[in-house]
Amino acid sequence: MKFLRMRPGHGEVLLTEGDPEVREDEERLIEEFRRQLDEGMWAAVPTHAPGSGRRQAVMIHDYDEIPSDADRVIFFPRASGG
Amino acid sequence: MLFTVLALTLVALALAMPTLWRELSAVRHRRAKSAKRRERRAIADPGRERRAEQRARELLRSCVNDEEWAMYRDLGFIRVRGSTPGYAYLVYPHKPVVAYMPESGRLLNEYCVEFPDMSGAIAGSRLPDSDDVLAKWMALTGDERRLIRTANMHLPGRQVDPGRVRRDLWRLAQWERQRSSARS
């Protein structure tokens, strides 16, 4: 699984990647996930809507909410009124 | 004796003054030049934004479906259907999200929203266009209510010209017709 983050003026960057089944990797992923949320990021996993060709995102608030088949989590700055 | 030493020191200083002055000016000149060079390097990397946008487009393409990607590529915006039937949004890069009714084409609201990265040195700059669209798409399809709650809501026409939105809706209808006739 990859953790990507949108960066102003840069596009996405790879924060970290690892196999959640491997304990060391999972600890690193959890730590990075928390750090990103602490920095004010939102996290989402792009996915297919069940039963249709439609795509959608699932917003992730906690590491445990990441779908087991997700291959990436995208972090992006929290929305604010413009 | 003391007087002689002082006098000699003064004379030596007076003689060295032009050389010292030249050195000082040269140092100042070198500093100004390197500051200008740094500034030019920071401003003039025309490829940087283009590369960022290219990366962002690839990411967007990998997240949305084929129709949405083609819509963005051809028209410059994405239509996202709302969770409430008969309700949809037009997502433009770095412009408010426009809510409308697909059946009648009636414009409802503008939702002004942005995604400022407040962390460290990159505060102040903004996401590439396609990242901004993807952020809105993810926030809308993932948690529409939260995004709408967060945004500042205005009547149509505050930031996006309603005439332009109507033209875009017309372009979208034409585009969909062409696609469906090409398929059949």
Note whether residue A20 is domain-resident. Answer: yes
Residue of B63, B112, B115 with shortest CB distance to A46 = B63
Tell me what the pLDDT averaged over chain B comes to: 88
User: Within this chain, do residues B63 and B1 fall inside the same structural domain, yes or no?
Assistant: no
The pLDDT tens digits for B6-65 are 777 777 777 877 777 778 777 777 776 666 666 555 555 778 889 999 999 999 999 999
More confident residue, A60 or B84: A60
* pLDDT band per the 50, 70, 90 thresholds, residue A42: very high
Asked if pLDDT for residue B173 goes beyond 70, the answer is yes
* pLDDT band per the 50, 70, 90 thresholds, residue A13: very high
The predicted model scores a pTM of 0.81
Contact between chains at B125 and A8 (C-beta distance less than 8 A): yes
User: Within this chain, do residues B24 and B52 fall inside the same structural domain, yes or no?
Assistant: no
Q: How many domains does the structure of chain A reveal? A: 1
User: Within this chain, do residues B52 and B140 fall inside the same structural domain, yes or no?
Assistant: yes
The phi and psi torsions of A66 (rounded to 5 degrees) equal -65, 125
**pLDDT attached to residue B16:** 79
Over range A49-74, report the average pLDDT: 91
User: Within this chain, do residues B25 and B52 fall inside the same structural domain, yes or no?
Assistant: no
More confident residue, B183 or B180: B180
Residue of B115, B131, B141 with shortest CB distance to A11 = B131
The pLDDT tens digits for A53-64 are 789 999 999 999
Asked if pLDDT for residue B122 goes beyond 60, the answer is no
Q: How many domains does the structure of chain B reveal? A: 2
Note whether residue A82 is domain-resident. Answer: no
ipTM of the complex: 0.94
User: Within this chain, do residues B14 and B90 fall inside the same structural domain, yes or no?
Assistant: no
User: Within this chain, do residues B168 and B80 fall inside the same structural domain, yes or no?
Assistant: yes
User: Within this chain, do residues B121 and B138 fall inside the same structural domain, yes or no?
Assistant: yes
Asked if pLDDT for residue B123 goes beyond 60, the answer is no
User: Within this chain, do residues B142 and B61 fall inside the same structural domain, yes or no?
Assistant: yes
Per the CB < 8 A criterion, the answer to whether B88 and B81 are in contact is: yes
Structure tokens at A6: 């949108």
- The minimum CA-CA distance between A52 and chain B, rounded to whole Å, is 11
| DSSP type of residue B159 | S
Q: Is B175 exposed, middle or buried (0-12, 13-18, 19+ CB in 10 A)?
A: middle
The phi and psi torsions of B115 (rounded to 5 degrees) equal -125, 75
Note whether residue A37 is domain-resident. Answer: yes
Q: Quote the CA–CA distance of B133 and B76 in Å, as a whole number.
A: 10
User: Within this chain, do residues B19 and B77 fall inside the same structural domain, yes or no?
Assistant: no
A32 lies in which domain range?
2-77
Tell whether B55 is within 8 A of chain A (Cβ): yes
User: Within this chain, do residues B74 and B13 fall inside the same structural domain, yes or no?
Assistant: no
In a 3-state reduction of DSSP, which class is residue A29?
helix
The pLDDT tens digits for B131-156 are 999 999 999 999 999 999 999 999 99
B22 lies in which domain range?
1-44
User: Within this chain, do residues B143 and B71 fall inside the same structural domain, yes or no?
Assistant: yes
User: Within this chain, do residues B171 and B100 fall inside the same structural domain, yes or no?
Assistant: yes
Tell whether B45 is within 8 A of chain A (Cβ): no
Tell whether A11 is within 8 A of chain B (Cβ): yes
- The minimum CA-CA distance between B28 and chain A, rounded to whole Å, is 33
